[in-house]
Structures are given as structure tokens and as C-alpha cells.
């Protein structure tokens, strides 16, 4: 708190407010914290705390505000989460995984996409920077449009190669455009990880709608 430039008194008051609601002694590194401050009149060193927010969950935020009467108030803000199906298209440009990330696909969806495409694509020789990628996937978003969770990959298409997710008897499989189950293919290019590079330079809990 002191690194934000506020006074030790304000810092202590913030900590006293937060202590009953969260374990402040074990906050992990890189915990997201946003602080709004203002310069005190006649004081060029110490800043006045206007407010701060800490994201404590996928859709919950603790907010501390400094009111005009000098008091600090704490409140928790919860956003509504809804499930939606996202359709996205883009250009590969750099790596295939980077392209998927730029379209909002999380790591789990990206890994699934790479496993599917590796059955029919040699990533080093077949891909070009201007190749297009199409994705359809499920995700959970807040009312503000922020993705808090990605679900199932429904469809992926690259260079005319398409895979579709189809569920029957409680089991989901992926099929190509000819209706062949992906489990019947042999890997052309085994992939050890989700990061794909090429010669041209290049937080999983599924849910259902």
C-alpha cells in the first residue's frame, strides 16, 4: 500500500478494512490491485487515496472508497455470469496458438485445437502468416463482457480443414468435414506442447449450455 504513495495512516485503515474479509497475510504475488489516488493540497509527497479495488474471484471485486467526509467504506461487487457461444475469425500472423489467444480462446481450447489440427496439418510446412482461422467455442462471461472461463471447442477451421464437436450418448467426439471421427486419424506431426512455431517466425473446467 505504501508503494502507491498514500500515507501510512491511510494504508493502515485500508488493511484494517480488508482484514475481516480476506487473508491479507497470504496474498499471492501479482495479485491484481487497482488504486486511484490524488495529490493532497499543499503536499507534493503524500497522495490521498480515492479508492482501490481487488479482484477476489472470477466475478467478485472488493472495493474501498474514500468518501468526502474522510471515512473509508468497503463493499463487495458481484457481476452476473452468463454462458455464451462465441464465433471468431482471424489471421494466424505469428503462431497458431497466439492467433487463438487473440480470438479469446483460453489455453485448454488452444491445446484441443492444436491436437485436432495436428492430425492433418504439418505446422512447419503447411501454415502461412496470412492463413485464416475460424473458431466457435463456449465461454462464461461477466455482464461487462470479460471472459472468466472457457468451455468446449465446438468448431475449428484452418486452410479448409474443419473439425466439428458432436456429442452423443453423453460422449463428445470430433469429426472432420467428411464425418470421420478424429480418433481414426494418425498424427502427421506429434505435438508436445500447446506452443506452435513455424518457419515464418512464429484460469480447465468445461461447462455446457
CATH number at residue 49: 3.10.450.350
Predicted confidence at residue 134, as pLDDT, reads 94
Instruction: Answer with the one of 41, 63, 78 that is the final residue of a domain.
Output: 78
SS (H, E, C) 40-76: CCCCCCCEEEEEEEEEEECCEEEEEEECCCCCEEEEE
The whole domain housing 13 covers 2-78
Strands in 147-158's sheet, in edge-to-edge order, are: 81-91, 132-142, 147-158, 161-168, 171-176
Of the listed ranges 38-52, 120-134, 162-176, 193-207, the one predicted with least confidence? 193-207
Predicted confidence at residue 95, as pLDDT, reads 83
Same domain, 68 and 131: no
Pair type for strands 147-158 and 81-91: unpaired
Predicted confidence at residue 39, as pLDDT, reads 81
Q: What is the mean pLDDT of residues 82-100?
A: 88
* Tens-digit pLDDT profile for residues 142-167: 887 788 888 899 999 999 999 999 98
Residue 190 has pLDDT above 70, yes or no: no
The sign of the dihedral angle between the CA atoms of 85, 91, 96, 97 is: negative
Same domain, 33 and 72: yes
pTM across the whole model: 0.61
Predicted confidence at residue 42, as pLDDT, reads 67
Same domain, 20 and 64: yes
Same domain, 72 and 20: yes
Predicted confidence at residue 203, as pLDDT, reads 32
Residue 198 has pLDDT above 90, yes or no: no
Same domain, 170 and 140: yes
Of the listed ranges 21-30, 71-80, 159-168, 183-192, the one predicted with least confidence? 183-192
Same domain, 93 and 24: no
Mean pLDDT of the chain: 81
Measured CA distances, 30 to 8, 22, 27, 84, 202 (Å)? 22, 16, 9, 29, 28
As for how many domains the chain has, the answer is 2
Residue 4 has pLDDT above 70, yes or no: yes
* Tens-digit pLDDT profile for residues 7-66: 899 899 999 999 998 888 888 888 888 999 888 776 667 788 899 998 888 888 899 998
b/e map of 150-159 (b: 16 or more CB within 10 Å)? Answer: bbbbbbbbbe
Instruction: Answer with the one of 48, 78, 108 that is the final residue of a domain.
Output: 78
> How many CA atoms, within 13 angstroms, populate the side-chain half-sphere of residue 96?
34
Same domain, 57 and 122: no
Predicted confidence at residue 202, as pLDDT, reads 34
Amino acid at each position: 500500500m505504501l508503494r502507491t504513495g498514500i500515507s501510512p495512516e491511510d494504508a493502515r485503515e485500508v488493511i484494517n478494512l480488508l482484514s475481516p474479509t480476506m487473508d491479507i497475510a497470504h496474498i499471492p504475488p501479482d495479485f491484481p490491485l487497482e488504486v486511484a489516488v490524488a495529490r493532497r493540497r499543499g503536499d507534493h509527497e503524500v497522495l490521498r487515496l480515492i479508492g482501490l479495488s481487488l479482484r477476489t474471484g472470477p466475478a467478485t471485486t472488493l472495493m474501498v472508497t474514500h468518501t468526502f467526509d474522510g471515512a473509508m467504506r468497503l463493499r463487495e461487487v458481484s457481476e452476473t455470469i452468463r454462458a455464451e457461444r462465441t464465433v471468431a475469425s482471424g489471421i494466424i500472423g505469428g503462431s497458431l496458438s497466439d492467433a487463438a489467444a487473440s480470438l479469446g480462446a483460453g489455453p485448454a481450447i488452444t491445446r484441443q485445437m492444436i491436437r485436432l489440427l495436428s492430425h492433418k496439418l504439418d505446422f512447419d510446412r503447411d501454415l502461412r502468416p496470412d492463413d485464416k482461422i475460424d473458431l466457435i467455442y463456449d465461454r462464461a462471461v461477466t455482464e461487462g463482457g470479460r471472459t472468466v472461463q472457457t468451455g468446449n471447442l465446438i468448431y475449428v477451421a484452418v486452410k479448409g480443414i474443419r473439425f466439428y464437436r458432436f456429442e452423443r450418448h453423453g460422449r463428445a467426439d470430433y469429426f472432420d468435414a467428411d464425418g470421420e471421427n478424429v480418433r481414426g486419424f494418425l498424427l502427421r506431426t506429434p505435438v508436445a506442447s500447446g506452443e506452435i512455431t513455424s518457419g515464418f517466425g512464429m484460469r480447465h473446467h468445461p461447462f455446457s449450455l
